[in-house]
Chain A
Amino acid sequence: MNKTVYFDNNATTKVAPEVLAAIEPYFCELYGNPSSMHTFGGQVGHNIRDARQQTADLLGCEPEEIVFTGCGTESDNAAIKGAIAAQPNKRKIITSRVEHPAVLQVCRDLDAEGYTLAEIGVDSQGSLDIDQLEEELDESVALVTIMHANNETGVVFPIEQIAEMVTSRGIIFHTDAVQTAGKIPLDMKESSIDLLSISGHKLHAPKGVGALYIRKGTRIKPFIVGGHQEANRRAGTENVPGIIGMGKACELAKDNIEDENTRVKDLRDRLEQQVVAKCSNCWVNSKEAPRLPNTSNISFEYIEGEAILLMLDQLGICASSGSACTSGSLEPSHVLRAMGVPFTAAHGSIRFSLSRYNTAEEIDYLAEHIPAVIEKLRELSPFAKK
C-alpha cells in the first residue's frame, strides 16, 4: 500500500507546510519561557501576541478574548464548568443530543452531580428542535451549550439565531465550533455568542493546542489554576510551538475559507454524486439540512461500517464510521440514533471528510473502487436483497 487518500479530516488534519515552517524555530532556537525576565525568553511573548492576534482575526474578536488551551476538549470543559461555577445559584444546563462527547459527557456528569440537564433533540435530517429549546429556557438556566456544526453529519445549526434567543434572556451561551472554524466565516463582533471552542489540529495546526473565545464581560471561573498565564484564565507554561502554529493556521484558514466553500464543496458534492450513483441501497444522511462544505455521511444498508473501513483501508482510503464495532461500544453512533436513522443503515454509515488538500483525482479513485467493496460485503450479508 503506497497510496494514502485521506478523507478523515473531521478526525484530524495534516499540518500545513507553512505552519510547520512557522513553528520550527521554537524548538531549538527560540525555546525560552515567555514568562522569563530575560530577553531570550521574553521575546517569545511577542510572538505569542502575534499568534493571538491571528487567532482573533479568524473569529472576528479582540485578542484579549482568546485563551489558548490544550485542545478542543479542554476548551469545552473549561467553558462549561467555568460558566457553571461562576453562577452557583442556577442549576439547569441545556445542550443537544448530538453533541461531541467533549460536551455531552461533561453535561451528563453535571447532571449526575445534581444539575438538571435538558437535551434538545433533532429531526430526521439532524436539524435542531428550536421550539423545544425555547420551551426549556427559563430563569434557572445557567448555560446553554450547543454545537455549531456536527462532526459526524456536518449539519450546521443556526447558531446566531440560537445565541440571540439564549443571550437575550441573560443566559450564557457556549458553542463548540471545532468543526466550523475555517470552514464557515465567524464574526464575534456581530454575534451574541459568549463562549466558543476551537481546536488546532482540525484546521491544519498541530495536535495539542486549542482556543476558547471568552466574550469580554463573561463571568467564568478558571478551569486550570496554578499560574498567571493567559491573563490568569488558564494556568500552565504556554505550548509555544502549538500556539504559534495555531496562529499561522488561523491566518491560512481565513485566506482559504472561500476555497473551502467552493472547490472543496464541489469535491464533496462530486464524491456524493458518484458514490450514490454507483452503489445501490445507499444514501447521504442529512442531505436536506444545511451542512459543512467538507463533510459527507453516507449510509450503506445491510452491511457493517468497520468491514467497509477495513476494505477501504486496504485501498489506502481513510474514512470513519458511526458503527458500533469501530468504537468498541456495542451501539451505533448517538448522532444517527438521535436522528432516527434505522439500524439497517446506522451500522453501515461511513463519514468522508475532506480538506483543501484533497483532489478530484482522489474522489475518482474512491468512486472507482468503492462499488466493489460494497458489493463484496453485500454478498456476505444475510440481509442484502438479491
Chain B
Amino acid sequence: MWEYTDKLREHFFNPRNVGEIENPDGLGDVGSLACGDALRLTFKLDENGRIKDARFKTFGCASAIATSSVLTEMMKGKTLEEAEKITNKDIADYLGGLPEQKMHCSVMGREALEAAIENYRTGGQKKHELEGKVVCTCFGVTEEEIERIVAENNLTTTEQVTNYCKAGGGCGGCLGEIEKIIEKVQGQQAHKKPTPTHTRPKKLTNLQKINLIQQTINEQIRPALRAHGGNIELIDVESDKVIVAFREMCAQCHLAEFTMKEVVESKLREFVSEGIVVEEEEQSARQPHKHRE
C-alpha cells in the first residue's frame, strides 16, 4: 500500500475542477492509455490575462488524479508568466510530498501545463510533441526532458529518473544513456553506482572469447529483447563471425534486421571485439520476419 498524505487522499476523493472547458484559451494533452496515465488540461483567461478557470480530466492512479486537482488550484489567478514557473516539485510539495515511484505524476502535471500554455501561444491545436532525441523508446522520453528533470529535482541516480519520468522503466535498454545524462548535468556531483565498467580485453583465447560473447548476450542483449517478448540464442562462433538465432517474438518481428545490427552487433563490438560481424542462422532467417514479406 502506498504512503499517501492526507492532503493527497483528500484531493483524490474530492477532486477540484474536474471537466473540460468549452472553447478554452489553452489545452494541453499529455500521456496515453498505453503509458497508464494521461491528463487533459484546459484553461480560460480573464481580461487581465490571468487564469480565470482551469479544468482537468485524468486517467490514472490516485496520485495522478490528486496532482491534476492541485495543479488546477495552483494555476488559478496566476498570469501565464507566473503559472509557467510552477515546477513538478512545487506540485509535489503542495501535496505534502509524493511517494518516490509516483513523482512522474507531478511531472505529468507540469508537462500538461506547459503544453496548454504553448497551445495558447501558438494558437494551433498542437499537442505536446516530442522534441529532440528520444532516449527511452518504451515511454517516449527525450534527452531534453530527462536533462530538465534531473536539473530541477537534483536527481543523482537512474532509479530516480525512472520514478520521475518513467524513462528506463521498460526494457531498461537506455539506463546507460540516462546515466551519462545525469553525469553531464550533475558533473562531479553524480554519485556513481558501481556499473560494470568494461575495458575490452586485448587478447582472448577462443574459449575466453566464446564465453565473453555468451556473457554479453546474457547480460547486455537478452534483457532488452526479453522486455519485448523476444529471445536470442548463440548458435556458433567462427573467428569474428558470430551466428545467432532469434526466438519467440523476435522471430516474427519486422525490426529483427535493425535489432541484429543496432543491438546485437553493436553490443558485441563494444564488449568483445571491434571486428565482430553478426549473422542470423539460416533456419532462423527463414522464419516469417515481417520485413521479408
Contacts and interface: CB of A to CB of B under 8 A. Distances in A.
Instruction: Tell whether A pairs with B.
Output: yes
Contacts of B58: 380-382
A144 interface: no
B166 to A, nearest CB: 5
Interface in A98-134: 108, 111-114, 116-119
Given A114-B218, A304-B36, A382 B59 contact: yes
Interface string B38-51: 11100000000000
Contacts, number: 88
A347 B35 CA distance: 9
Q: By DSSP majority rule, is chain A's interface helix, strand, loop, or mixed?
A: mixed
Interface in B33-75: 33-40, 57-62, 64-65
Contact of A307 (B18, B65, B139, B219): B65
Interface residues of B, number: 42
Interface in A189-245: none
A343 B34 contact: yes
Interface string B115-136: 0000000000000000000000
Interface in B168-201: 169-170
Contacts of B20: 382
Contacts of A112: 218-219, 222-223
Contacts of A343: 33-34, 36
A306 B62 contact: yes
Nearest to B41: A382
B62 A310 contact: yes
Nearest to A113: B218
Interface stretch (A151-159, A163-171, A323-331): A323-331
Interface string A39-62: 000000000000000000000000
B274 interface: no
B15 A380 contact: yes
B222 A111 contact: yes
A379 B18 contact: yes
Interface of B: 2, 9, 12-13, 15, 18, 20, 29, 33-40, 57-62, 64-65, 101-102, 139, 162, 166, 169-170, 214, 218-219, 222-223, 226, 229, 231, 233, 247-248
Contact of B38 (A108, A324, A383): A383
Interface residues of A, number: 36
A271 interface: no
Nearest to B249: A121
Given A116-B233, A307-B12, A380-B18, A330 B59 contact: no
B169 A382 contact: no
Contact of B139 (A117, A304, A330, A379): A330
A324 B101 CA distance: 11
B170 A331 contact: yes
A310 B59 contact: no
A383 B33 contact: yes
B65 A382 contact: no
Nearest to A332: B36
B115 to A, nearest CB: 13
A299 to B, nearest CB: 13
B37 A329 contact: no
Contacts of B60: 304, 307, 325
Contacts of B226: 108
A117 B38 CA distance: 36
18 contacts: A108-B226, A112-B222, A304-B36, A310-B62, A325-B37, A325-B60, A325-B64, A328-B101, A329-B169, A330-B35, A331-B36, A332-B36, A343-B33, A343-B34, A379-B18, A380-B18, A382-B39, A382-B58
A380 B57 contact: yes
A324 B15 contact: no
